[in-house]
Amino acid sequence: MITIIDYEMGNLRSVAKAFETLGFDVCVSNDPIAVATSDKVVLPGVGAFRDCIHNLRAGGFVEPILKHVAAGKPLLGICVGMQMMFDESEEFGVHQGLGLIPGRVKRFPAGMVEGGERLKVPHMGWNSIQIVRPAPIFNDVADQSFVYFVHSYYCAADQAEHVAALCRYGDITFSAAIWRDNLMATQFHPEKSQSVGLAVFRNFAAL
């Protein structure tokens, strides 16, 4: 069973529907016990880091997530779900994350220019990713595939060995996906990324 954590901050229904379309059983749950007993867990995220990590802690999910990872069971983070895996974020002040991946979440700088045009923040829409490590979620996913992003803050990993894919926006090259053992995450939204996103979900479910 795949459990999608409901902490009132994620694009839950779209993520669940994508897994169901692929034929996998999913459970959207706001019960920390469901996380503790699940084979695989998905941590989605939409909104501000500060609010997401607050809700995650208030819902009693942090300890079950950390135990799930320590037990070697697969965890997939999506967007802010990925950002919360890092040490801290500078969004609306400095806020501590789960500390699963060394690094920091930073804001895209204002005034970035590409091709003579000012780039908008948030980074929103389709962009290609460079796969730099063969993470299991990228089986049968081609390098330079296009995926869908919506974010104003990006992850800067301290260690290159944790980065599975990169993406460039303006002057910034950021972590588009991470992989450390049973821990995987994407800054992009697989549920909005059509066939590539479905491949990511299929690969995760098949672990």
Q: Tell me which residues are annotated as active site.
A: 79, 189, 191
The pair of structure tokens assigned to 16 is 């669940």
- Number of Cβ atoms within 10 Å of the Cβ of 65: 22
Element (H, E) at 148: strand 146-151
DSSP conformational letter for 82 = H
Q: How far apart are CA 194 and CA 35, in angstroms?
A: 27
Using a 10 angstrom Cβ sphere, with 0-12 exposed, 13-18 middle and 19 or more buried, the burial of residue 23 is exposed
Asked if omega into 102 is within 30° of 0 (cis), the reply is: no
Q: How far apart are CA 58 and CA 120, in angstroms?
A: 33
